[in-house]
Structure 1
Amino acid sequence: MSDRGLQTMFEFDPAAGSLKWSDDEAAARIFGVAREDVAATGNAFSARIEGREDETRIAAFAGERTSYACEYQLKRDGGDGHWVEERGGWIGAGASRRLISVIRSIETRKRRDEQLSWLAVNDELTGHLNRSHLKKALDAKIASMISSGTAGAYLMAGIDDLGAVNSDFGFEAADKVIAEVGARLASILGPDDRIGRVAGTKFGVIIAETDPDRLRQICVRLLNVVRESVIETKGGVIAASICLGAVSLPQQADNSNAAMTRAEAALDAAKRIGKSSWSAFTDKTDVVSMRRRNTHMSDVILTGLNERRVRLAFQPIVSDLDETPKKFECLIRMRGDDGQNIPAPEFIPAAERLGLVHLLDRRVLELALNTLAVNPNIHLNVNISMETVKDFVWAEGYIALLRANQEFTRRITVELTETQVIDSIDASIEFVSEIKRLGCSFGIDDFGAGYTSFRNLKAMDIDILKIDGSFVTGVSSSRENQLFVRTLLDLARNFGMQTVAEWVDNEADAMLLKGLGVDYLQGFLIGKPETNPDWLPDGAPNEAPQRAERRQS
C-alpha cells in the first residue's frame, strides 16, 4: 500500500513524557511496526530518528519553543529509512499544557526529488553524465591539466548505423544498444576518467591522463570492447560497433567547446574511413575539411535566406483527437537551389556554428507573424536558438520585431529546448521576461531531457512544457515511461503549466496521455508538418500583408 498522503497526529504530555496517537494504524504504517510497537514516549520516538535530531524539535519538546517544523528519516525495523515531515506547537497552560503535532509521510516526494536531482546530472537511459555536466567536468579537467602540466584526451564515440537498428528492430532495441554500448565503454575506463552521453547516439569520454601512444591503445580497446560480443535484445541479437574521434588535451583544445567541436570533426573523419574506425584530430586534415564544409554551408544558408527559400512547415497541436487544429508548431524548412529540401539537421547545426542561426530565427518569426496576420484564428509556436537568446544584440532585434507586431504576440508561443535553457539560465530568464511582457507565451521543448531545477522552473515563468518525445513514443506499453510522464505532469500542475506530448503516433498512446492529464497532443497521429496546409494553401507569406498591399497601390 502506498504511503502517499499518509499522516497522523500525536499529543505529547511533558510531565509523563508520553505520546498519544490520533490514529494508531497510520502511526504504525509510518514507523513500519506493529500497532503495539508504535513509540509511546518522546524518548522512544527520538530513538527512531535517523542521524542527528533536529535542534528546533529538541527545543520544542523541551518547552523552549512554541512551535517547530522539520523533516527527517525514521529508522524502520526492516532497516530502511522513511522520510517524514513533522509540524507542531504547544497549546494550553500549566498541567494541561500539551504539544500537538502532525507527522506526515513525504517519502514519495523525497524519492521523486532525489530522482530529479539525479537526472539533472545524469542521462536516464545510460546512467552516465548528461551533456551539460560532462561539459562542466571537461572544463574542470582541462583546467587541472593546465595547472598541473599533465596531458589527457577527449574522445567522442558515435554508434554506427543506429538508425538501421531503429528501423529493423525498433526503438526499444536501439535503446538497449545505446545503454549497452555506454556500459561497455565505461567498463574499461580508469577511476579518474569520465563518460557522458552527449547526443542520442554519441558518448563523450574524458581520459584523465595519457600520451599519443597510450591514446592509440585506449581507442583500440574501446573499439574492441563494443564489438567483442553481440547485444541481445527482444527483437534479436545485434552486432554493434562505434567510431571514435580523439583530441589531445590541453594541447589541441584548452576549453570544452573547442574539445567537443574538434572531437566531432575527428569523429566525422573516422566515419569516412568506415565502421569501427578511429581518427585523431589534426590541424592539417580536419580543419581544412571542416572549413570547406563551413564555407559551403554558409553560402547555402545565406543564399537560401536571400532568395526566400526558407519556409515554414506547420504541425498541428490539439487538445482532443476530434478537434479541428487551431494551434501549430512552426518547423523550419529550406529548399536548395536544385529545388530539393535540405534536412534541418544539415543546416541548423552549421548555422549555429557559423553564427548565422539568429538570421534563421528572425526569418522564422517574420514568416510566423505574416501567417498570423492573414489567419486571425490560429496560434503559432516558434522555436528560437540559445545563440540568439544569449547575444544581447540579436535578442534585442528579435524582441524589437515582436514589439513592432504586438497585435499578434498573444497568439505566439516562443520555445526553447530544456538543454539549452540549462546551459544559459540567466540569459533565458531575462529573455523570457521580455517576451512575456509583450504578450507572448513561453514554452520549454523536449522537457525531461535535461531536468531543469525547481528553482529555475519557477524563475522562468513557463507557460507550456513539451514532454520530450522519447518518453511519449510507446508510452501505452511502457510502465517506466508512464511513471515518468506522471511525474512530469505532477510537476507541471504544481507550477500551473500546461503540457504538450510530442511524437504521438498512435491512438493507444494518445488515449493514455489524455487519461494521465496531458493538455495537448502533437505528432504524426494528429498530423505531419505541412508547408502548404489547407488553411494556408500558398504557405507562409514571404512579406507582411500590409506591406504587400502598399506596394500594389
Structure 2
Amino acid sequence: MNNIQDDSAQKPDGDQPSRAGANEHVVAATEASNGASDRGLQTMFEFDPSDGTLSWSDADAASRIFGVEREKVAATGDAFSACIIEEEDEIRVAAFLGQKPSYSCEYQLRRADGAGHWVEERGGWIGSGAGRRLISVIRSIEGRKRREEQLSWLALNDELTGLLNRAHLRKTLETHIARLTSEGQTGAYILAGIDDVGAINADFGFEAADTVIVETSKRLAGLLGPKDRIGRVAGTKFGIMINDCDDEQLRQTCVRLLNVVRESVVETKSGAVAASVSLGAVSLPEQATTTNETMTRAEAALDAAKRIGKSSWSSFTDKTDVVSMRRRNTHMSDVILTALNERRIRLAFQPIVNDLDEVPTKFECLIRMHGEDGQLVPAPEFIPAAERLGLVHLLDRRVLELALNTLAICPNIHLNVNISMETVKDFVWAEGYIALLRAHQEFTNRITVELTETQIIDSIDATIEFVSEIKRLGCSFGIDDFGAGYTSFRNLKAMDIDILKIDGSFVTGVSASRENQLFVRTLLDLARNFGMKTVAEWVDNEADAMLLKGLGVDFLQGFMIGKPEITPNWLPEGAPNDAPQRSMDRG
C-alpha cells in the first residue's frame, strides 16, 4: 500500500478527480452558460499584406473577443498571431502569406487577463495586385467548447462526486487486474457502501443524502495513494482499486477507510449527519481475474460486512455467500435509492369520474420510476423488491410529497394516494407519514389514502389506528381492490371507510357476466348501508360503464376513462417533482 497522501494533483489523464470533486465542473458549466452571452459574437477584419495591418469592422466586438480595450485590439497580423495560444495553425500561416486562397481554423486567444477564449476564424483573399486583401470573420465559440468539454468529462466521470463513473471504472479495473497479473504483483478491489442512506433520506431529506455521498467520496479519495483509483459504481457505493497490497496492508487500508468516514460528522443544511461505510474487499488477482468476477465477489463481501453491522468490513472467501437473489436484492436496493436521490420517482395520474362526460378533477396517483436510461421501470419490477428490502417506506413518503406538491399547485384537484401496510404498521414510519400530512393540513381535505383489502386483514388494529389519525387531519380513507379479501362487517365499521374501490376482476366484462353483476350489486348494497361511496376500477368499455352506472356505482376508473399520465395537460411544466413555494400553497 502506498503512503497515505493527498492525490489532488493526480489527474493528468482525467482518471483521478481533484479534491474539489465535481465542483470544478459545476464551475465549468457556469462558465459555459456565461459563454452563452458571447454566442453569436463575431466581427470581420481586413488584412493588408503590404504593411501587415488589420482593420476591424466592429471594434467593440473585437475588444470583447480579445478581452481588451478597443485601443488595444491587435492592429497588425503579427500582434494578432502573438495572441494565439500554442502553435499557430499551419493553414492560417500559409493563408496570411498568400499561399492559400482560403482557410478555416479554430484556436484559443490569450486574453489580457491570461485566460483562453476559443474562436473560429474563416477567411479568403479577394482582389488582385496592390488592392489584394485577406477578408476574414472571427467568431466566438467559447460556449460550444465549454459544453463539449463538459460532455467529454461526463463521459468518464460521475456528475455528483467527480469520481470515475461506473463504465469508466470497469475499464480501469480491467486494466488494473491485467497489470497486476502481468507484473506478478498483488492488489485489491474494495467496494464501499454508505450505511443507512434510507434513514438519512427520511430524517434529513434528499439534499442532505447527496451531501453525505459527496463528502464520503472526498474522504475516501483523500486517503488513497497516487496510483490508486476510485469511482462511483452505484448511488451509494464506491469502487476502490488499490496497488501493491498484501493481506495485512489490505486490512490496515480497510480500517483507515472506515475511520476516515466516521471520524467526524458530515455537516448538511438539515443538520449534522454521522455517516459510516461498510466495505467488501477482494484480493487481486488471487481471488478474481476478471472485472465481472471481481465486482460480483466484492458485492458478496460487502453483503457479509453489512450483516456484521455498520462500519464493518469483510474480505471475500470461498465461504462468502454469493446467492444470486441476494445480489439481485443488493442491485435493486441501489436502483431504488438512486432513483429516489435523483428525483426519478414520478407520479402517473389516472382520472376518476362520476359521469362519462365529466371533466376529471379526481385522480389516482400511481407510482412510476424512470431508469437511468430514461425508460419507465414497471411498478411490478421494483415495488415487491422495495417491500422485501424495507424501502417501500421511502417510496410511500415520496409519493405523498409529490401528491402534496401537486395539490399546492392545482387547487381544484383531488388525489388518491396508495400506502403500503409496511408503512402503516411501522410506528415510526406511520408517524412520519402522518406528520407530513399534519404539516400540510390545508390540503388534506383533497386527499384520499388507499389501502388494499388483502393487506388490511393482516394488521387490522394498526389500520384502525392509522385511519383514525389521518381522518382526524381531514383526509378521506379508501379500501382498494375490495372483494379480493374477506374483511368482516365489524372491521368495515371500525375503520370508518369513505370509499370502496371494487376489485377490477369483478368489473372487467361485467356487462356480459351475470355472476359479476350479482357480486357488484351485493357490494353496492353493502357500501350504501355503511354510507360509503364506490369506485369501479378497470372500466375499459362503454357497455360496462353504462351498466355500472345503472347499478349505482358512484365513480368510474379505467382505460376507457383515461390512461395514467405523468404529464397531463392540467399539470404545470416541471411539477410536481420540486416543492412549490409556500406562498403558492393555497392556490
Q: Which residue of 2 aligns with 1:306?
A: none
Supply the AA of the counterpart residue of 2:217. G
Q: Which residue of 2 aligns with 1:134?
A: 169
Shift of 1:506: 4.1
- Relative to the length of structure 2, the TM-score reads 0.54
Q: Which residue of 2 aligns with 1:267?
A: 302
The alignment partner of 2:251 has SS state of helix
Q: Distance in 2 between matches of 1:20 and 1:296?
A: 69
Q: Which residue of 1 aligns with 2:333?
A: none
Q: Which residue of 2 aligns with 1:418?
A: none
- Relative to the length of structure 1, the TM-score reads 0.57
Q: Pick the aligned partner of 1:24 from 38, 42, 59.
A: 59
Task: Give the direction of change, closer, same or farther, for the CA distance of 1:26–1:334 in structure 2 (3 Å limit).
Answer: closer
Judge conservation of contact 1:333–1:344 (CA < 8 Å) in 2: no
Q: Which residue of 2 aligns with 1:401?
A: none
Q: Distance in 1 between matches of 2:173 and 2:290?
A: 8
Q: Distance in 1 between matches of 2:71 and 2:277?
A: 61
Judge conservation of contact 2:92–2:104 (CA < 8 Å) in 1: yes
RMSD (Å) for aligned C-alpha atoms: 4.1
* 2:50 matches 1:15: yes
Deviations 1:33-60 (A, max 9, x none): 1100111111110111001000111111
Q: Pick the aligned partner of 2:149 from 108, 114, 120.
A: 114
Q: Distance in 2 between matches of 1:103 and 1:43?
A: 16
Alignment of 1:280-429 (within 5 A): 280-287=315-322, 290=323, 293=326, 315=348, 331-334=377-380, 342-343=384-385
Shift of 1:187: 1.1
Q: Pick the aligned partner of 1:159 from 194, 200, 207.
A: 194
Shift of 1:4: 2.3
The alignment partner of 1:57 has SS state of helix
The alignment partner of 1:15 has SS state of coil
The alignment partner of 1:78 has SS state of coil
Judge conservation of contact 2:349–2:363 (CA < 8 Å) in 1: no
Q: Pick the aligned partner of 2:178 from 136, 140, 143.
A: 143
Supply the AA of the counterpart residue of 2:98. G
Shift of 1:344: 6.6
User: Mean alpha-carbon deviation: is it higher for 135-144 or for 110-119?
Assistant: 110-119
Supply the AA of the counterpart residue of 2:113. G
Shift of 1:343: 2.3
Task: Give the direction of change, closer, same or farther, for the CA distance of 1:42–1:510 in structure 2 (3 Å limit).
Answer: farther
Q: Distance in 2 between matches of 1:509 and 1:59?
A: 66
Task: Give the direction of change, closer, same or farther, for the CA distance of 1:324–1:65 in structure 2 (3 Å limit).
Answer: farther
Judge conservation of contact 1:126–1:179 (CA < 8 Å) in 2: yes
Q: Which residue of 2 aligns with 1:104?
A: 139
Shift of 1:220: 0.4
Q: Which residue of 1 aligns with 2:268?
A: 233
Q: Distance in 1 between matches of 2:261 and 2:327?
A: 32
Supply the AA of the counterpart residue of 1:10. F
Shift of 1:286: 2.1
Q: Distance in 2 between matches of 1:214 and 1:113?
A: 41
Deviations 1:247-284 (A, max 9, x none): 11111110111111110111011111100000111112
Q: Pick the aligned partner of 1:182 from 203, 210, 217.
A: 217
Q: Pick the aligned partner of 1:208 from 221, 224, 243.
A: 243
Q: Distance in 2 between matches of 1:268 and 1:280?
A: 11
Q: Pick the aligned partner of 1:76 from 106, 111, 115.
A: 111
Q: Distance in 2 between matches of 1:79 and 1:508?
A: 52
The alignment partner of 2:47 has SS state of strand
Judge conservation of contact 1:152–1:211 (CA < 8 Å) in 2: yes
Q: Distance in 1 between matches of 2:52 and 2:328?
A: 81
Q: Which residue of 1 aligns with 2:441?
A: none
Shift of 1:330: 5.7
Q: Distance in 1 between matches of 2:328 and 2:266?
A: 41
Judge conservation of contact 1:126–1:182 (CA < 8 Å) in 2: yes
Q: Which residue of 2 aligns with 1:378?
A: none
Q: Distance in 2 between matches of 1:332 and 1:285?
A: 32
Supply the AA of the counterpart residue of 2:195. D
* 2:124 matches 1:92: no
Judge conservation of contact 2:301–2:320 (CA < 8 Å) in 1: no
Supply the AA of the counterpart residue of 2:298. A
Q: Distance in 2 between matches of 1:317 and 1:94?
A: 77
The alignment partner of 1:285 has SS state of coil
Alignment of 1:389-538 (within 5 A): 506=405
Supply the AA of the counterpart residue of 1:257. N
Supply the AA of the counterpart residue of 1:343. A
Deviations 1:425-449 (A, max 9, x none): xxxxxxxxxxxxxxxxxxxxxxxxx
Q: Pick the aligned partner of 2:158 from 123, 126, 133.
A: 123
Task: Give the direction of change, closer, same or farther, for the CA distance of 1:279–1:6 in structure 2 (3 Å limit).
Answer: same
Deviations 1:115-157 (A, max 9, x none): 1111111111111111111111100010001101101110000
Q: Distance in 2 between matches of 1:295 and 1:171?
A: 24
Shift of 1:315: 3.6
Judge conservation of contact 2:299–2:327 (CA < 8 Å) in 1: no
The alignment partner of 1:286 has SS state of coil
Q: Distance in 1 between matches of 2:167 and 2:388?
A: 23
Q: Distance in 1 between matches of 2:244 and 2:190?
A: 13
| Identity score, percent | 61
Q: Which residue of 2 aligns with 1:67?
A: 102
Judge conservation of contact 2:329–2:385 (CA < 8 Å) in 1: no
Deviations 1:481-530 (A, max 9, x none): xxxxxxxxxxxxxxxxxxxxxx998469999xxxxxxxxxxxxxxx99x9
Q: Pick the aligned partner of 1:47 from 78, 82, 89.
A: 82
Judge conservation of contact 2:108–2:116 (CA < 8 Å) in 1: yes
The alignment partner of 2:288 has SS state of coil
Q: Which residue of 2 aligns with 1:250?
A: 285
The alignment partner of 2:92 has SS state of helix
Q: Distance in 2 between matches of 1:54 and 1:178?
A: 45
The alignment partner of 2:320 has SS state of helix
Q: Distance in 1 between matches of 2:44 and 2:384?
A: 65
Q: Distance in 2 between matches of 1:509 and 1:537?
A: 31
Judge conservation of contact 1:334–1:344 (CA < 8 Å) in 2: no
Q: Distance in 1 between matches of 2:274 and 2:245?
A: 29
Q: Distance in 1 between matches of 2:65 and 2:114?
A: 14
Deviations 1:7-29 (A, max 9, x none): 11111111121111010000001
Judge conservation of contact 1:314–1:330 (CA < 8 Å) in 2: no
Task: Give the direction of change, closer, same or farther, for the CA distance of 1:295–1:214 in structure 2 (3 Å limit).
Answer: closer
Supply the AA of the counterpart residue of 1:217. Q
Judge conservation of contact 1:245–1:279 (CA < 8 Å) in 2: yes
Supply the AA of the counterpart residue of 2:199. A
Shift of 1:89: 1.0
Deviations 1:333-384 (A, max 9, x none): 4499xxxx6227979xxxxxxxxxxxxxxxxxxxxxxxxxxxxxxxxxxxxx
